Amino acid sequence: MKNIKYLLLSAVLIGFTACNDEEDFEDQLDNPTTEVILPALTQGEADFSKYIAVGASFSGGFMDNALFIAGQQSSFPYLLSQKFAFVGGGSFTLPLMEDNIGGFVLGTTVVSPPRLYFNGSGPTLLPATPTTEITDVLSGPFNNYGIPGAKSFHLGIAGYGTLNPYFGRMASSPTATILGDAVAQNPTFFTLSEIGGNDVLSYATSGGTGVDQTNNLDPSTYGSNDITDPNVFAASFSTTVDALMANGAKGVVANLPYITTLAHFTTVPHNPLDPTNEAFGPQIPLLNSIFGALNPIFNAVDPSRAIVFSETAASAVVIKDETLDDISATIAGALNASPTFPAFIAQFGLPEAAAPLVANLLANTYGQTRQATNTDLLVLPSSSVIGTVNEDYAAALQLQGLPETLAAQFAAEGITLPLEDKWVLIPSEQFAINTATDAYNETINAIATSKGLAFVDFKSILEQASTTGFASGDFILTTDLVSGGLISLDGVHLTSRGYALMANEMMKAIDVTYGSNFEASGNLVDPGEYPTNYPPTLLQ
């Protein structure tokens, strides 16, 4: 908007110099001129005649945990292509899904679920069956190679379509690579965005269950939830840029945000246990009695491990922290040596002879536990399990001799049964994610600078959106789930309005680097034309 402000300033100055006397000036105040004449759109040094987008789910228009037609047609590459068309841009072909339901089927079997929608209280799975057949191959070529799930080193894997159906349905051949198919279009301009995001995303969304593969240069040995080594990323990113620029193409790249600032990781509080909840509140005295037998042991080892539920304020969930020393043996030894422990278990209707069994059960359950703090991040799906009974664990307790009711009491997720690693990102796991992201961004920044590419600081945009909010058009967008307008219902991917913001920031960067004037000429996308979510009635 900077150039528009300057134009308005110029108009005011011209108006003042044109006033010959006080009467003319007063006449202008009574009859103000509101029309602002903007300059014609120019492309600068960029050639948009063959625009190719390479990226992952953001480039593809993935939102609400699915890829569907409306999302694809709201993707930032598609929005950019519409603007590029005004200055010589050619057609932009999308590998469209079959519906606005999202998901895949294999014959009559649903292999990937439909999109989410907002039911008035929260994200809900669309009650519809996908129609996109996973084995169908479309006829290309295509312009948008935004492949959901693609990691940096996947771009050059021959036959990647057999591993990823989003690419499989648009690949030029069974042995094609994403990069090869993109380069074959001989692009004159490209966007390369969010490459590297998936290199840490699956680790994050799985609660850090993968491995940080830093210093392992062989990605063929990585698990699906692992963090990619920064040198592997650097080699893949550099190779991709060189291939896209081989024939003189210009382009724009974007760096990566700290994904832990997204709604998927910030929506569920660490202390969601409400004492006014009729299912939880009445249990608090009993719970504190149970943990009262363990807290002296915890306090002797590490007071931060003590577990206490408040009767007046929200309490933190109980989690397993694999970085803690395992004190199972200490717990078992202390309880078995306690002369009061047999009487303690008697209050639960258990015979004194069960004391060793219960002691070992408590030891194995709470050897690496603590209550969560505000430095822990609970992943969005944990909201559906906290406080529920883990039926498998309860059944296992019954097999060990506990009555059904007591087994259920000791199997309450996040209360008596510590939340598993997959539900929580502890600080050390967050550090690993951010450290890798920083390294990836160093590569992106360096290559963008050395190659003279336009650059979008998406990391700063998301940081601002997660704190004070980011202004886009007439909106202040935040990363809050549902209400923020930027992040879709899956808590990770953008809304249509968010992708409009991204398209605008890319055009601003193109203006700065290549001398175009998308912003000054009034050709940015109006975010208000794009919704923050789609109704359940949108199916085709």
Amino acid at 310: S
Same domain, residue pair 25 and 66: no
Same domain, residue pair 90 and 222: yes
Q: What is the pLDDT of residue 431?
A: 98
pLDDT band at 35 (very low <50, low <70, confident <90, very high): confident
SS3 call for 224? coil
**Mean pLDDT across the chain, nearest whole number?**
93
pLDDT band at 10 (very low <50, low <70, confident <90, very high): very low
CATH code, 508 = 3.40.50.1110
pLDDT band at 7 (very low <50, low <70, confident <90, very high): very low
Same domain, residue pair 396 and 444: no
User: Do 155 and 178 meet the contact criterion of CB atoms below 8 Å apart?
Assistant: yes
Does any domain span residue 271? no
Same domain, residue pair 92 and 165: yes
Pick 252 or 400 by higher pLDDT: 252
pLDDT band at 16 (very low <50, low <70, confident <90, very high): very low
Same domain, residue pair 307 and 318: yes
User: Do 508 and 518 meet the contact criterion of CB atoms below 8 Å apart?
Assistant: yes
pLDDT per residue over 227-249, tens digit each?
999 999 999 999 999 999 999 99
Same domain, residue pair 18 and 160: no
Q: State yes or no: pLDDT of 3 exceeds 70.
A: no
pLDDT per residue over 437-448, tens digit each?
999 999 999 999
Residues of the chain with pLDDT > 70, as a percent, come to 94
Euclidean distance between CA atoms 80 and 89, whole angstroms: 10
CA–CA distance from 179 to each of 142, 143, 252, 291, 407 (Å)?
Answer: 12, 12, 16, 56, 54
Q: What is the pLDDT of residue 30?
A: 53
The domain boundary, picked from 425, 440, 465, lies at: 425
Q: In which domain, by residue range, is 519 found?
A: 51-266+427-529
Q: What is the mean pLDDT of residues 456-482?
A: 96
Q: Which long-range contacts (CB under 8 A, 24 or more apart) does 441-449 make?
A: 441/196, 441/255, 441/256, 443/230, 443/233, 443/234, 443/237, 443/238, 444/196, 444/237, 444/253, 444/254, 444/255, 444/256, 445/255, 447/237, 447/238, 447/241, 447/253, 448/253
Same domain, residue pair 100 and 208: yes
93: left (phi over 0), alpha (psi -120 to 50) or beta: beta
Euclidean distance between CA atoms 439 and 442, whole angstroms: 5
Q: What is the mean pLDDT of residues 151-159?
A: 98
Same domain, residue pair 29 and 68: no
Pairing type for strands 250-254 and 369-371 reads: unpaired
The residue to which tokens 């010959």 are assigned: 20
Same domain, residue pair 206 and 254: yes
C-alpha closest to that of 76 among 237, 242, 254, 258 = 254
376: which 2 tokens? Answer: 């822990």
C-alpha closest to that of 194 among 143, 246, 233, 222 = 233
Euclidean distance between CA atoms 249 and 186, whole angstroms: 8
Positive or negative, the CA dihedral 36, 40, 43, 49 is positive
Q: What is the pLDDT of residue 530?
A: 96
SS3 call for 253? strand
End-to-end CA distance of the chain: 37
Euclidean distance between CA atoms 242 and 41, whole angstroms: 29
Same domain, residue pair 126 and 260: yes
Residues of the chain with pLDDT > 90, as a percent, come to 91
pLDDT band at 31 (very low <50, low <70, confident <90, very high): low
Euclidean distance between CA atoms 225 and 173, whole angstroms: 28
364: which 2 tokens? Answer: 């194995």
Euclidean distance between CA atoms 414 and 318, whole angstroms: 5
C-alpha closest to that of 291 among 416, 413, 396 = 416
The domain boundary, picked from 425, 452, 467, lies at: 425
Q: What is the mean pLDDT of residues 332-347?
A: 93
Q: State yes or no: pLDDT of 15 exceeds 90.
A: no
Please state the separation of Cα 89 from the chain's center in Å: 31
Euclidean distance between CA atoms 146 and 51, whole angstroms: 13
Same domain, residue pair 409 and 431: no
pLDDT band at 8 (very low <50, low <70, confident <90, very high): very low
Euclidean distance between CA atoms 129 and 112, whole angstroms: 10
Q: State yes or no: pLDDT of 6 exceeds 70.
A: no
C-alpha closest to that of 239 among 324, 154, 159 = 154
- In degrees and rounded to multiples of 5, residue 393 shows phi and psi of -70, -40
How many other C-beta atoms can be found within 10 angstroms of the C-beta atom of residue 387? 17
Altogether, the residues listed in the chain come to a count of 540
User: Do 479 and 266 meet the contact criterion of CB atoms below 8 Å apart?
Assistant: yes
pLDDT band at 32 (very low <50, low <70, confident <90, very high): low
Same domain, residue pair 257 and 312: no
Among 41-45, 101-105, 347-351, where is mean pLDDT lowest?
347-351
Report DSSP state, residue 423: G
Among 18-32, 112-126, 307-321, 372-386, where is mean pLDDT lowest?
18-32
Q: What is the mean pLDDT of residues 520-540?
A: 96
Q: What is the pLDDT of residue 36?
A: 80
472: which 2 tokens? Answer: 């886009």
Amino acid at 315: S
How many domains is the chain built from?
Answer: 3
C-alpha closest to that of 262 among 460, 462, 123 = 462
141 preceded by a cis bond (ω within 30 of 0): yes
Euclidean distance between CA atoms 350 and 342, whole angstroms: 9
pLDDT band at 21 (very low <50, low <70, confident <90, very high): very low
Does any domain span residue 343? yes
Does any domain span residue 409? yes
Pick 15 or 79 by higher pLDDT: 79
> 303 CB contacts (<8 Å, ≥6 apart)?
none
Euclidean distance between CA atoms 59 and 102, whole angstroms: 16
Q: What is the pLDDT of residue 111?
A: 96
pLDDT per residue over 52-107, tens digit each?
999 999 999 999 999 999 999 999 999 999 999 999 999 999 999 999 999 999 99
Q: What is the pLDDT of residue 28?
A: 44
Q: What is the pLDDT of residue 34?
A: 65
Does any domain span residue 157? yes
pLDDT band at 401 (very low <50, low <70, confident <90, very high): confident
Q: State yes or no: pLDDT of 473 exceeds 90.
A: no
Does any domain span residue 540? no
User: Do 131 and 112 meet the contact criterion of CB atoms below 8 Å apart?
Assistant: no
User: Do 481 and 489 meet the contact criterion of CB atoms below 8 Å apart?
Assistant: yes
User: Do 263 and 479 meet the contact criterion of CB atoms below 8 Å apart?
Assistant: yes
C-alpha closest to that of 59 among 153, 210, 156, 178 = 178
Among 6-20, 240-254, 364-378, where is mean pLDDT lowest?
6-20
The domain boundary, picked from 425, 453, 477, lies at: 425
Does any domain span residue 535? no
Does any domain span residue 273? no
114: which 2 tokens? Answer: 């439909």
What is this structure's pTM? 0.90
> What is the rounded radius of gyration, in angstroms, for the C-alpha atoms of the chain?
28
